[in-house]
Amino acid sequence: MREVGNGFVRLVDSLGNDMSVVKAARVSYGNESKGLEADTKLINYMMNHKHGTPFEHINFTFHIKCPIFIARQWFRHRIGSFNEISGRYVKLDTLCWTPTNWRKNLNLRNKQDSVIGEWDENELEDIESSFQNALNVVLTTYEHLLEKGVAREQARAILPVGTYTEFYWTVNARSLFNFLELRTHHTAQKEMQEYAEAIHSLSQPIAPISFSAWEKNR
């Protein structure tokens, strides 16, 4: 398991490894492994020449806890299976994501471009207190609505996108490489990059040759 702030990424299960890629690729010729050196060359060749389907024979299942705004970015990766905790069935965790530092947009034309901002002490205090005060009001109201008997499916509507959610994600290695390509890139949101790096560190040992080939051909 890798902790990411107040969230985490956990590798629940995996199916297949580098040999699964090799066997899937060589089945066309009725062969399997030809030894480590030849198999490594084959994996690197396929990655370099974009022969992606053999990598679909490695699968990973992760359990992830992250802020809703991260989950919404995650769910845009359509090739994978998701199951998320339901705010209809359970009371949601009222722990909310809070920035460890505050960023500014450098260029208004590039909405993805942000850097750690510089504020004087009074400005920073105002930013942090405004954020925390708003959170306190919302979370207290959520608890109050539940205590009054309001249905969970309605009370959850007040919760912010910084609320933590949990989900299971099953994905094959080919799609995982695409996810990592996009979400570890320097233009991805910093918090998203942190989760993607955690995914990378957990999945890489399962298929080290395939991951090495991907790294070389990014």
Please report the sign of the dihedral spanned by the C-alpha atoms of residue 46, residue 47, residue 52, residue 57: positive
- Please compute Rg for the chain using Cα positions: 21
**Number of CB atoms found within 10 A of residue 101's CB:** 8
Q: Does the annotation count 183 as an active-site position?
A: yes
| Encoded tokens for 143 | 């608890």
Which amino acid belongs to residue 83? N
Q: Which of 26, 72, 156, 183 is catalytic?
A: 183
Residues in the chain: 218
Active site residues: 183
